[in-house]
Structure 1
Amino acid sequence: MPEVTAIILAAGLSRRMGALNKLLLPVGDVPLIRKMVDVYSTAVGSVLVVTGHQASEVETVLAGSSVKTVFNTEYRNGQPTSVACGLRAASNADAVLIGLGDQPLLSADDIHALLVTHFSADRSRISIPMNGDQRGNPIVVPDNLFARLLADPKSPGCREFTRTHPEHVQFHPLASAGYLYGPGHPRGLRRPQSRNAGENHMQTIRQLAARLRQKFTLTPQQADHLATIKFPCC
């Protein structure tokens, strides 16, 4: 298989969690970001973590791992700047996986399945996993598109590019919930269309919150809050 580098985005301000940085919350016996690094390291040989907010704390929990870190000086300007920072640091790879630091259900098998699917399809396109009608992460970006993703300094990265250049994108149906954000990605929670829909959404939230409490050391209030967050796609 060609040389693949995983870029894990771990620079965000984590505003929704208040004073807490969700990447540092424990999943079992290790902080979430360390768990994610361990998962990616099992699947690919090279892992790069883009840091920003609380970079020193993130680097501390990664001590002893084989990953490299790169600090995004523009992290306050949003996720696209972190994607660009990671791409510049991984310029020698044949392809990169761009993933989030907060997907506790993602497994090494999920990553391997995505890579096999990508390299069995059109290697020149960006591969995005789909779970039903939901876009997932990580995504696979081939080296022939690195420069395109860095070309616009006002909007670097893959978020806008994958939506405005569909000819460079391929979607792969992959059923694992691990590709979604956290334990799930409830869509439309803010605008239920009927009383029954609203009740169904609340049941979904309660189920997600229960799963979050099993995965994390969180208060019930923190778990409820995380369960209703709609995270951006890369």
Structure 2
Amino acid sequence: MNNLSTVILAAGLSRRMGTDNKLLLPVNGMPMICHMVRVYSAVTNGAVIVVTGHEAQQIEAALDGSVVQTVFNPDYRLGQHTSVSCGLNAVPEGHDLLIGLSDQPMLRENDLHALLDAHSAQPGQISIPRYAGQRGNPIVVPAVLRARLLTDPRNPGCRSFTRQNPEHVQFHDLSAAGFYADIDTPEAYAAFERGALEHVL
């Protein structure tokens, strides 16, 4: 595999969480965003780029001292695709990349290795975890397709491209709950703390 960089999307408004910014809630003794950076950093040999937006200063303060690059998305209120575009533009040329979410604290290093190993069989395709019909995150984007994700200025990013160009996509049957369990609500966070998040989604 080529050099591998990571884009972690951390710009969302976190509306469903109420007054708390979910990315600052504690996970394993640290803010969730720091936990996710640690997990992704363990499998990458390239840059780890965190795309910020909502409460960017607080996120950046939490990451102070981490070996990450933060990129602010001024258009974060317009949707996740703008953050994907922002992150894609920050990745070094020639790097494959993981594009992941910042609110999947059940995701483990071994899960990411399993996805990357599956991707290595056809490294020219976009790799997406899927189980029981549900698509998961992160996804792996090969360097050769990165520019293609930016060709539509109205809707850049992965969602529309992968649906409109299925010939460039491969799904991998990966059942680990970390790929599919994210935290959007206080109830989901409480379930995560109880070790039962996968049972309430």
Same fold at TM > 0.5 = yes
Indicate yes or no: 2:123 matched with 1:143: no
| Cross-structure match for 1:195 | none
- 2:65 and 2:160 map into 1 onto residues whose CA distance is 36
Higher relative contact order (CA 8 A, sep 6+): 2
Find out whether 1:127 has 2:127 as its counterpart.
yes
Structure 2 counterparts to residues 59-208 of structure 1, below 5 A? 59-120=60-121, 122-182=122-182
Give unmatched runs, 5+ long, in structure 1. Answer: 184-205, 216-222, 229-234
Partner of 1:146, secondary structure, is helix
Deviation at 1:132, TM superposition (A): 2.1
CA RMSD of aligned residues (A): 2.0
Per-residue Cα deviation, 1:184-215 (whole angstroms, up to 9, x for no partner): xxxxxxxxxxxxxxxxxxxxxx9x67632336
Overall identity of the aligned pairs, in %: 54
CA shift, 1:27, in A, is: 1.2
| One-letter code aligned to 1:173 | D
Following superposition, the deviation at residue 20 of structure 1 comes to 1.4
User: Helix, strand or coil for the counterpart of 1:43?
Assistant: coil
Larger radius of gyration: 1
Residues 43-66 of structure 1: CA distance to partner in whole angstroms, max 9, x if unpaired? 112211000111110011111111
- Counterpart in the other structure of 1:7: 7
Aligned pair count reads: 195
Aligned to 1:214: 194
TM-score when normalising by structure 1: 0.78
TM-score (norm 2): 0.90
Give the structure 2 partner of residue 49 of structure 1. 50
Contact 1:131 1:179 (8 Å CA) reproduced: no
8 A Cα contact 1:6 1:44, kept in partner: yes
Shift of 1:147: 1.4
> Quick one: distance in 2 between partners of 1:152 and 1:55?
27
Q: Any conservation in 2 of the 1:131–1:177 contact (CA below 8 Å)?
A: no
Contact 1:43 1:109 in 2 (8 A): no
Distance (whole Å) between structure 1 residues aligned to residue 100 and residue 68 of structure 2: 14
Contact 2:28-2:35 at 8 Å conserved across structures: no
Distance (Å, rounded) in 2 between the aligned partners of 1:209 and 1:62: 21
